[in-house]
Homo-oligomer: A and B are copies of this chain.
Amino acid sequence: MSSAAQTRIKVGIVGGTGYTGVELLRLLSQHPNVELRAITSRKEDGMPVAEMFPSLRGRVDLKFQTPDSAQLDQCDVVFFATPHGVAMSQAQALLDAGVRIIDLAADFRLQNLANFERWYKMPHSCPAILKESAYGLTELNREQVAKARVVGNPGCYPTTVLLGLAPLLQGGNPLIGTDHIIADCKSGVSGAGRKAEVGTLFSEAGDNFKAYGVLGHRHHPEIAEQLERLAGKPVGLTFTPHLVPMIRGMFSTLYVRILPEALDTDFQALYEQHYAGESFIDVMPAGSLPDTRSVRASNHLRIAVHRPQGGDQLVVLVVQDNLVKGASGQAVQNMNLMFGLPESTGLTHVAVLP
């Protein structure tokens, strides 16, 4: 407790008007070791944060500021909850001032620069910083995150697919065929952000279900790059994201084929051992059917492993809250690691059900 008091982390947030921004505010305003110092929005300069988000009335007294007036260089860490491209434009100056960076956009997710430029339609402005950055999938990269100056917080889909498949791949000696991995993923609408767009209006996305990005989605190269790192070789990935008429929640159904030599594996035991001791990864009992509400507003990710009829097809079910473990919660988890706090500090909320 005394050390906690010592590490009162001074935090700044760039771009606080979106859903990952307000979720950071929800989590950080309840975090015992955080002092919220500044939050920026050029457009809303001067507006109290709690006026835009009345859920924060009485809890967050900050006003939105311009980046210039926010004195972000006085912070210990700055979160970027911004469009792609913003974090990399400000990274060097902050690093020079000794500020650590956690980017919730894609600037520090892809080590493959060609893929970054192809999918995000912009050149990368600081490849050197990218090279030293850590990919912030905490459970898979704990050591690198702990000592990183810059963390690229993973996309929401990649978090579920990678944590769902890691036990099958790790060690570079996969138990499954890696040339035809199928990730059939379903996301709540908040994953699309708080932008005014026709496609995510209530009357468009409500009482409706659709696939999107079948011919190409930005999370595809991110997932593939990390799967290849885990598998130690190229992988073939079919990734189909779908939009679910719910606000929060992500459900990924993963289909892989067990290699002949691995058919005797006890996959339930494998997963349980792989994630033993993890605070936020819950390998459910055999036969379980997770639902997204079981992690609503919490940082947990639940996994169930199925092998229908005992055959060679494995079906892995993964749920998370896309705004928490899939975004802002994992960012806070990374911050905890980076500042020597217990990883679950400020992240112990029980899921809201119903």
A residues neighboring B (CB under 8 Å): 19, 22, 26, 29-30, 53-59, 180, 182, 184, 186, 188-190, 192, 194-198, 200-212, 214-216, 236, 238, 240, 242, 244-249, 251, 253, 255, 257, 282, 284, 287-298, 300, 302, 306, 308, 311, 313, 315, 317, 319, 348-354
Contact = CB atoms under 8 A, between A and B. Distances in A.
Given A210-B290, A245-B202, A349-B349, A257 B180 contact: yes
B251 A54 contact: no
Given A204-B354, A209-B291, A249-B207, A55 B298 contact: yes
Contacts of A292: 208-210
17 contacts: A29-B350, A58-B300, A182-B255, A182-B313, A194-B201, A196-B201, A202-B204, A203-B354, A206-B247, A208-B293, A209-B244, A209-B249, A210-B251, A210-B292, A214-B315, A242-B253, A244-B245
Contacts of A296: 55, 207, 352
Nearest to A193: B203
A280 to B, nearest CB: 10
Given A292-B210, A317-B214, A200 B198 contact: no
Contacts of A298: 55
Contacts of A197: 196, 201
Contact of A289 (B180, B212, B257): B212
B245 A246 contact: yes
Copy number in the complex reads: 4
Given A201-B200, A203-B190, A354-B204, A211 B289 contact: yes
B240 A315 contact: yes
Given A54-B284, A238-B255, 9 more contacts: A19-B354, A54-B288, A194-B198, A201-B202, A206-B247, A209-B251, A210-B251, A236-B313, A242-B253
Contacts of A211: 251, 253, 289-290, 317
B308 A214 contact: yes
A49 B238 CA distance: 32
B194 A203 contact: yes
Q: Which of A59, A198, A204, A255 has the most CB of B within 10 A?
A: A204
A351 B55 contact: yes
A55 B210 CA distance: 14
Contacts of A240: 253, 315
Contacts of A192: 203
Contact of A184 (B190, B209, B253, B354): B253
Given A54-B294, A180-B257, A210-B292, A203 B251 contact: no
B354 A54 contact: no
B196 A295 contact: no
Which 7 A/B pairs are nearest by Cβ-Cβ distance? Answer: A210-B291, A55-B351, A54-B294, A55-B353, A189-B202, A202-B205, A196-B196
